[in-house]
């Protein structure tokens, strides 16, 4: 029993280790510091988004809009930084510092998250539909804001966020790691975190215990929006360019990370650290397949089967859940 439960408990880590060992035998470029940082830097955006996605899914919701919110927030930050707000007819011009532009991007992400939460709690729009609508709304807004062209040339200060190093560790990894630590503490050690699990576990019991269901849900979608914006700013900074089609289908990678990490789509069960492991598995797999020169088409197929495998294992471990 003990060996079995231990195996089940650490199945993601074990899978990750096995994957790393196998890949390091198959390619001598895999187990190098450069490749390690590379993987970490690449998954940092997905981890940012997936923290928010985990919270949303723990409440038995879903957020399909994170990819589009990422694009819009990144574009807004880039646009504010490069062009400011310029309304000649009113003789108005507001310039933005790097800090101000970032705040603007985060504000947009948070605002769209609030809107999602508001639709879901106030008008009882199912999360799938509300965030699907936001997916196209935010993407359309990104096109409007950028006119369909990338915003580039954002300067060295802004680029530091995505490409800089601090104490020998890439900045995106710092940002993501700090967010992960905060999220782990919040989910395990605070009232807010406990309420998220309670709402996902049994919303009706949570309501009858006097929990502020709507408030918690609005916050969760808001946080998901803000974290998507963080991802958008990191991505924009790393590429030195806000692409109108940035973050396309990122919501699916994010859901994949959450699911591989063992969080139940029926809510109430899962963890931030699980999601980080899920994102690592996807990142390591991507990197390994690239190093092994596997065609991108096959990469997608393999990723699909990994998701299925993860969920099948989860089913076996939790047979009695809906």
Partner 1 sequence: MEEDNIILQAVNITKKFAGVTALDNVSINVHKGKVNVIVGENGAGKSTLMKILSGVYPEYDGTLLLQGEPVNFSNPKDAMSKGIAIIHQELNLIPYLSISANIFLGREIVDPLGLLDFKKMNAITKRLLERVECNVPATTLVSSLRVGQQQQVEIAKALLEDAKVVIMDEPTSAITDAEVEVLFRIIASLKKQQVSIVYISHKLDELFLIADRFVGLRDGKMVGTIENAEQGTKDDLIRLMVGRDITNLYIKDTLPLGDEIFKVENVSLPKPSNASQFLVNNVSFSLRKGEVLGVFGLMGAGRTELLETLFGLHSERMSGSIFIDGRKVDIRSVKDAVANGMGLVPEDRKKDGLVLSMPIYKNVSMASLDQVIDNGFLNNRAENGLAKQYIADLKIKTPSQNERSKNLSGGNQQKVVLSKWLATTPKILFLDEPTRGIDVNAKNEIYHWINTLAKRGLGVLVVSSELPEIMAICDRIIVMGKSRITGEFTKNEATEDIIMNAAIL
Q: Which residues lie near partner 1 (CB under 8 A)?
A: 185, 188-191, 194, 197-198, 201-202, 204-212, 268-269, 321
Q: Assess contact for 65 and 252: CB atoms under 8 A.
A: no
Helix (H) or strand (E) holding 170: strand 169-170
Q: Which is nearer to partner 1, 104 or 193 (CB)?
A: 193
* Shortest distance in whole angstroms from residue 216 CB to partner 1: 12
> Cβ 56 to partner 1, closest distance in Å?
18
Q: Is 264 helix (H, G, I), strand (E, B) or coil?
A: coil
Minimum distance of partner 1 from residue 148's CB (angstroms): 44
Query: 10 Å Cβ neighbour count for 99?
Result: 10
Which of 252, 226, 272, 273 has its CA nearest to residue 77? 226
Closest distance to partner 1 from the beta carbon of 36 (Å): 33
Half-sphere exposure of 2 (CA within 13 A, CB side): 0
Q: Which is nearer to partner 1, 32 or 190 (CB)?
A: 190
Nearest residue (CB) to partner 1, 31 versus 178: 178
Q: Cβ of residue 205: shortest distance to partner 1, in angstroms?
A: 5
Pairwise CA distance, residues 261 & 278, whole Å: 4
Task: State which residue, 97 or 188, has the beta carbon closest to partner 1.
Answer: 188
CB of residue 208 to partner 1, shortest distance in Å: 5
> What 3-state DSSP class applies to 152?
strand
User: Which one, 210 or 296, has the nearer CB to partner 1?
Assistant: 210
Nearer to partner 1, 115 or 197 (CB): 197
Q: Give the Cβ contact number of residue 236 at 10 Å.
A: 33
Report yes or no: 241 and 150 within 8 Å, Cβ to Cβ: yes
> For residues 31 and 205, which CB has a smaller minimum distance to partner 1 in the complex?
205
Q: Give the shortest CB-263-to-partner 1 separation in angstroms.
A: 13
CB count within 10 Å of CB 186 equals 18
List, in sequence order, every residue forming a beta bridge with 93; answer none if it has no partner: 86
C-beta closer to partner 1: residue 6 or 188: 188
What's the closest the beta carbon of residue 165 comes to partner 1, in angstroms? Answer: 33
Q: Which residues pair with 241 in a beta bridge?
A: 152
* Residues 73, 140 contacting (CB under 8 angstroms): no
* Cβ at position 207, least distance to partner 1 in Å: 6
Long-range contacts of 243-246, Cβ-Cβ distance < 8 Å, separation of 24 or more: 243/71, 243/150, 244/71, 244/75, 244/142, 244/143, 244/146, 244/148, 244/149, 244/150, 245/71, 246/70, 246/71, 246/74, 246/75, 246/142
* Whole-angstrom distance, CA of residue 171 vs CA of residue 157: 12
| Cβ proximity to partner 1, 156 vs 185, nearer residue | 185
């Amino acid at each position: 029993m003990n060996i079995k439960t231990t195996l089940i408990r650490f199945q993601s880590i074990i899978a990750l280790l096995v994957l790393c060992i196998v890949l390091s035998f198959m390619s001598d470029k895999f187990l190098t510091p450069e490749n390690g940082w590379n993987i970490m830097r690449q998954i940092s955006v997905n981890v940012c988004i997936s923290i928010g996605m985990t919270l949303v899914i723990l409440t038995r919701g879903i957020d399909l809009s994170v990819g589009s919110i990422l694009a819009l927030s990144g574009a807004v930050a880039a646009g504010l930084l490069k062009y400011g707000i310029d309304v000649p007819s009113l003789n108005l011009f507001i310039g933005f510092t790097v800090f101000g532009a970032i705040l603007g991007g985060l504000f947009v992400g948070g605002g769209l998250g609030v809107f999602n939460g508001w639709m879901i709690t106030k008008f009882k729009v199912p999360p799938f539909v509300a965030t699907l609508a936001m997916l196209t709304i935010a993407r359309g807004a990104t096109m409007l804001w950028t006119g369909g062209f990338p915003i580039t040339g954002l300067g060295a200060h802004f680029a530091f966020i995505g490409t800089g190093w601090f104490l020998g560790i890439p900045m995106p990894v710092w940002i993501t790691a700090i967010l992960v630590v905060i999220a782990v503490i919040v989910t395990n050690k605070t009232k807010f975190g406990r309420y998220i699990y309670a709402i996902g576990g049994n919303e009706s019991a949570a309501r009858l215990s006097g929990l502020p269901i709507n408030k918690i849900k609005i916050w969760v979608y808001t946080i998901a929006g803000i974290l998507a914006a963080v991802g958008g700013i990191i991505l924009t900074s790393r590429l030195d360019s806000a692409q109108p089609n940035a973050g396309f289908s990122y919501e699916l990678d994010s859901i994949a990370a959450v699911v591989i990490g063992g969080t139940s789509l029926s809510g109430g069960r899962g963890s931030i650290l699980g999601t980080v492991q899920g994102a690592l598995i996807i990142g390591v797999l991507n990197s390994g397949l690239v190093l092994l020169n596997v065609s991108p088409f096959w990469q997608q197929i393999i990723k699909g089967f990994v998701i299925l495998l993860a969920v099948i294992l989860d089913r076996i471990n939790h047979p009695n859940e809906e």
